[in-house]
Amino acid sequence: MSTAEAVVRVADLRLPGSRTARFEGRDHGSGVSYFFVDNDPGQGPTLHRHPYSETWVVLDGEATITLGDATVVAHPGDCAVVRPGVWHRFVNTGPGALRMMCIHASDVMVQENAADGTAAR
């Protein structure tokens, strides 16, 4: 693999109509996947869970994170980890953009949504 092939451009990973990027490791020869989140105030995913751990690193802004029965607030430089099978979500509760990495300990993303009980990949 050449150096040029090893670089994945965030613009190529953006979700339709969003500033957030989705990287699935299997597509790029990596054992991890991630979301590079860029959310406005009030935005965030619905309650969901994964069969593997997920680690969040806040880069900019403020995230209120629900981990099972606990709620915590994270700021730039903070890190939070959710264990496999634990229902979780986050929302941007700051006044500006929330930028964070959501690292999935899997080469593909597997998600079960609480609202409708559906599993998604």
The CATH number linked to 92 is 2.60.120.10
In the structure, what pLDDT confidence band is assigned to residue 12 with cuts at 50, 70 and 90? confident
CA dist 111 and 72 (Å) reads: 22
Tell whether the model's pLDDT for residue 121 goes beyond 70: no
Write the DSSP symbol of residue 14: B
Q: Is residue 87 part of a domain?
A: yes
Residues 71 and 65: beta-carbon distance below 8 Å: yes
Looking at the structure of the chain, the number of domains it has is: 1
DSSP H/E element including 56:
strand 54-60
Residue 23 lies in a domain: no
pTM > 0.85: yes
Give domain status of residue 114, yes or no: yes
Asked if the structure places residue 2 within a domain, the reply is: no
Contact 36, 20 (CB under 8 A): yes
pLDDT confidence of residue 42: 97
Tell whether 15 is covered by a domain. no
- The answer to whether position 74 is within a domain reads yes
* Per-residue model confidence as pLDDT tens digits over 42-62: 999 999 999 999 999 999 999
Residue type, 51: P
pLDDT in the model for residue 5? 65
Within a domain: 65: yes
C-alpha of 43 from chain center: 13
Is there a domain that residue 13 lies in? Answer: no
> How much is the mean pLDDT over the chain?
92
Give the structural domain span for 99: 31-120
Is the sign of the CA dihedral 118, 100, 102, 37 positive or negative?
A: positive
